Structure 1
Amino acid sequence: MISQFFVLSQRGDSIVFRDYRGDVPKGSAEIFFRKVKFWKEDGGEEAPPVFNVDGVNYFHVKVVGLLFVATSRTNLSPSLVLELLQRIARVIKDYLGVLNEDSLRKNFVLVYELLDEVVDFGYVQTTSTEILKSYIFNEPIMIDAGRLPPLGPAAMFMQGSKRMPGTAITKSVVANEPGGRKREEIFVDIIEKISITFSSSGYILTSEIDGTIQMKSYLTGNPEIKLALNEDLGIGRAGGRSGYGN
């Protein structure tokens, strides 16, 4: 599991920062960049892709001049985390069409939405662009072609003076439904916490589940919303089986 993920510019500016577990100091980005910078100045060589500072493991890869970094306090497989960083960069590029500092800053809402779907509490969920298209519907903000660095003809597609959307958008994610109707979205997060107390012999003394449903609505007006729960949901007991309202 990873604790944090962040993207730094060549100057050390933090462009994207996501703290998943809260067990690593908030200043880890500054600590990392200072270590990488002095590493090269002292030894004349690039910092290794994995190193440890004060009990925190730092994993990083460089993509188009940007530093993609993950931190963890646990003993993770370096190749696994480095591959994850490469895939995150690839997913972001699929959605933005081109990967650079300007595109990340202008599309930070979309990038954070992607990160929340790719990693949950430090655990990888999916890095497949095809699967993510089922959950991500926002479109990227177009970047002026004149401000893009020379990435080569294969790195981007041009149409007039604007960049074409990324591959994840052009395939199936659209802003409007057939017939010209505008799609309206609502995002729902279900957060559950389980607390259990065991006796010295291993028996459960108390158990409690605390759940919340957080919703972010982009709907216009006051539409009626129906919330459906799984038919297997049981509250209490009735005749040896779970039942509602008991």
Structure 2
Amino acid sequence: MISSLSFINQKGEILIYRVYKDDISRSEITQFCAKMIATKENKESPIINIDQTSFIHISIKDIIILATTKTDVNVAMVLEFLYQLSKICKSYFQGILDENCIKKSFVLIYEILDEVLDYGIPQIADPNLLQKFIQEGGMQQEATISIDKFRSLTGTITGAVSWRPPGLHYDKNELYLDIIESVNLLISAKDTVLRAEVVGSIELKSKLTGMPECQIGMNDKLLMGKQARMTKQNGGIVIDDMKFHPCVGLPKFEKDRTITFIPPDGHFQLMSYRISENINIPFKVNVFYSEISENKLEIRLKIKSIYDKNVYGTNIAVKVPVPKNTVNVVSATGLGKAKHEIEEQSVIWRIKKLQGDVETSLRCEISLGATNRDQTWSKPPLKMEFQIPMFTSSGFRVRFLKVMEKGAYKTNKWIRYLTRGGDYLHRL
């Protein structure tokens, strides 16, 4: 798949060059550096074709990681591999990948490249697994590895569960599951929803003994549709995009929409998703601007929480933009505190806690300084930040969470929901 892989700096110098197939020469890489890096064209497109050679690359600060091929490949897979390779390198260099790290540890990087690719085909790409048998100590450190540890590593590499080490034991078995959603919303000045989507994730923290199998059922529309034919009930949600951790059994999910997995130890992201239909907008916002005089402006703002009364929104911040020439703001609020922050060019209204189905208001009288009358103020959109526990804008719900293990031990399980503001904008 990949013919060669290179690490290149911003000057066009080749720092690392590893060949996997004979159909690519170093002169072709040099040609790419001369034509593309010198003209900065590499930032415009991650895929460039020169003389029937495809140059697929990503930029990590001042380093370009380049993969070349002359065959028809899955470009998305190559790009994903390059980003994963950057994560592997960063795991060895305390989260940093720059020219200095590469020059100091080029032998280590060549060793990593030999393990992650075999004849240009991706193999092991798990940083935690690679660090067990690729270490910076060289042959002296390798000599200290015992036969039992070597066998354990071999079994982990070739086995189906490379993400979970064997022999884990906890006195108390616990599993924490968090559904975290960010609401991206754009509303026009006429209160028309122009864009609404939810980007969410399932975060897990596992403290489980042995090698348990876990199952999660969710109110996905495909599953609920089957149930509706039997129970004559409607429900469920439509999930547009999903991305799973490698531990998830995809055939099982395709069959009955149940997420089945053997969890890694500790914290990890099990799934990420995007939903763009039937979004429950948590707040209704009404904004009114009026000019009192030439140097005075009045802003009236009303917010109503559109969620259940037993749910509370927290850490709410409403950023109301004001003109640059604002010299003084007098505000009155029904709840919380409002303050003019010059650096943000906004009046920021902060509310620590807001119960569901409650309306509150803000009134600001703004005094303006001298300004050029020819320059009109283009009103930026109002922005909201918030957190709402026990609420999901998408309606996503976990129907069940099961932990099955041969020892049949008791597991303490917690499920939490949190919705927060992403790009939550209201045009004025």
TM-score, length-normalised on structure 2?
Answer: 0.32
Counterpart of 1:60 (choices 53, 57, 62) is: 57
Aligned to 2:129: 131
Whole-Å separation in 2 of the counterparts to 1:89 and 1:127: 10
Aligned to 2:69: 72
CA deviations over 1:20-74 (Å, ceiling 9, x no partner): 1111122122111122135547xxx833100211111100000011110000011
CA deviations over 1:100-128 (Å, ceiling 9, x no partner): 10111110111100000000111111110
Aligned to 2:112: 114
Structure 2 letter corresponding to 1:112: Y
Report the CA distance between 1:138 and its aligned residue. 2.3
Aligned to 1:229: none
Matched, 1:81 2:75: no
Aligned to 2:383: none
Aligned to 2:88: 91
- How many equivalent residue pairs? 144
Aligned to 2:44: 47
CA deviations over 1:133-165 (Å, ceiling 9, x no partner): 23312249xxxxxxxxxxxxxxxxxxxxxxxxx
1:37–1:99 distance in 2 versus 1, CA, 3 Å: closer
- 1:1-246 to structure 2, matched below 5 A, reads 1-37=1-37, 39-40=39-40, 46-97=43-94, 98-139=96-137, 175=141, 183=144
Structure 1 letter corresponding to 2:136: N
Whole-Å separation in 1 of the counterparts to 2:76 and 2:121: 16
Overall identity of the aligned pairs, in %: 29
TM-score, length-normalised on structure 1?
Answer: 0.54
Whole-Å separation in 1 of the counterparts to 2:74 and 2:48: 12
Unaligned runs of 5+ in 2: 147-428
Whole-Å separation in 1 of the counterparts to 2:92 and 2:38: 34
Instruction: Report the structure number with the largest CA radius of gyration.
Output: 2
Whole-Å separation in 2 of the counterparts to 1:52 and 1:138: 37
Structure 1 SS opposite 2:21: coil
Cα pair 1:15 1:105 within 8 Å, conserved:
yes
User: Which of the two has greater strand per residue?
Assistant: 2
Report the CA distance between 1:78 and its aligned residue. 1.5
Greater relative CO, 1 or 2 (CA 8 Å, sep 6+): 2
Cα-Cα RMSD: 2.5
Report the CA distance between 1:184 and its aligned residue. 7.4
